[in-house]
Amino acid sequence: MLAYSSIAHAGYLLVAFAAAREIGISAAIFYATSYAAMNVGAFAIISHLAGEGERYVTYDDFAGLGRRSPILAACLTIFLLSLIGIPLTGGFFAKFYVFSAALQADLIGLTIIGVINSAIAAYYYLRLIVVMYMRDARDEAAVPLAVPFALAIAVLICTVATLWLGILPGSVLDYARQSAADLLP
């Protein structure tokens, strides 16, 4: 699911580049920063749940995660909500700036397609959240719940960054604007 959603998120990034000008470039920088935080965190948790050997992970593997490992489930929920673009997450402002840049560049068609794609994507992200919290686990022993220290630190950093970019995006956005101004002649 995350691999396929990466294609959609690359599309959002391309919309920002299509807007060109300083606002499009700064939106792309902010989007890439926000996307990196939420996606690295989500992939880290999913890789951990896959266990040794990197087995194929299905939705059913996440059943009951909210009860068995509430902190992992909460962090993954934050990342998924950010990928949807829910307010108070970095993904919200990332999509907001990309779509704003596209509208300012008169790319109305791309903006409409992007918003529709976001609505469709919300289904498969929310589906995973429902499975984590509202389904009972099939096999309790299948999921490794002991979280290594390095993974815990990485997930914590990604979670804080995702929330920080959603609550206080100003400093990063200012940096992105300045960087875009420096890039353009």
Domain ranges in the chain? 2-183
Residue-wise pLDDT for 29-45, tens only, equals: 999 999 999 999 999 99
pLDDT > 90 in the chain, percent = 69
Query: Are residues 43 and 88 in contact, defined by beta-carbon separation less than 8 angstroms?
Result: no
Rounded to the nearest 5 degrees, what angle is found at the Cα of 87, between the Cα atoms of 67 and 28?
A: 115
Residue-wise pLDDT for 93-123, tens only, equals: 999 999 999 999 999 999 999 999 999 999 9
